[in-house]
Amino acid sequence: MRKIQLIVLLLISAIFIQSCKKDVVTSASTTSDKELSANINGTAWAPDTIAAAITYNAALNTKSFTVQGTADEKRININITLANGTNTNDFTLGNYKVDGTSRVQLTYSTLELIGDTYGYKQVGEVEAGSGSVTITSIDPTKNVITGYYSFTAKKVNYDLNGNIESIEISQILLGTFTNLPYTFSAN
């Protein structure tokens, strides 16, 4: 009987020791470790310079959320303005669509020679219904904000007679901002 108890004890010990080994798990991650990123015309893009802010304007009673990211001679700007803002360092969660007003503005710009100097020039316009930003979370204690965005900018090129010569489409898709630090100011 003692032999059976000893064998059972050894078996249980072996099983216990075997279950303590770490499992090797390989998986593909779809989350980004980038604070701001997008896919611009089919190419992954992540800026090396980012500025984000929430600003309360007491005179206009508005609150704005702005983001600017720049890298590889490309720049993306996001600007959402809410009426009836409050003087707090948070922002209303939700989906904000480009609707033809100045409430939601999304722009894509490229570095170009303008006169004698280089500067960023907006590529096309984002028409109503052609873009949106969704804010999914905000932590006003840590001043970080998370969400996603996408838009299409259309640039119409005309010949000297005013006829359409060509149309350029720029697609900014799968855009994300993840725990993006922001500043808060009130004026």
Is the distance from CB of 148 to CB of 186 less than 8 angstroms? no
Strands 36-40 and 43-45: antiparallel
Q: Give residue 27's pLDDT.
A: 30
Confidence grade of residue 114 (pLDDT, cut at 50, 70, 90): confident
pLDDT digits (tens, 9 = 90+) for 138-155: 999 999 999 999 999 999
d(CA 91, CA 178): 15
3-class DSSP assignment, residue 6: helix
Average pLDDT value for residue range 13-26? 41
What pLDDT is recorded for position 21? Answer: 42
pLDDT in tens, 77-104: 999 999 999 999 999 999 999 998 999 9
CB neighbours of residue 57 within 10 Å? 15
User: Which tens digit of pLDDT belongs to each residue from 28-57?
Assistant: 333 445 799 999 999 999 999 999 999 999
Q: How far apart are the C-alpha atoms of 91 and 98, rounded to whole Å?
A: 18
What is the rounded CA–CA span in Å between residue 27 and residue 109?
A: 36
| Three-state secondary structure of 77-110 | EEEEEEECCCCCCCCCCEEEECCCCCCEEEEEEE
Q: Using DSSP, how many helices (H) and how many strands (E) does the chain show?
A: 1, 12
pLDDT at 49 (0 to 100): 95
H-assigned helices in the chain: 2-19
Q: What is the pTM of this model?
A: 0.79
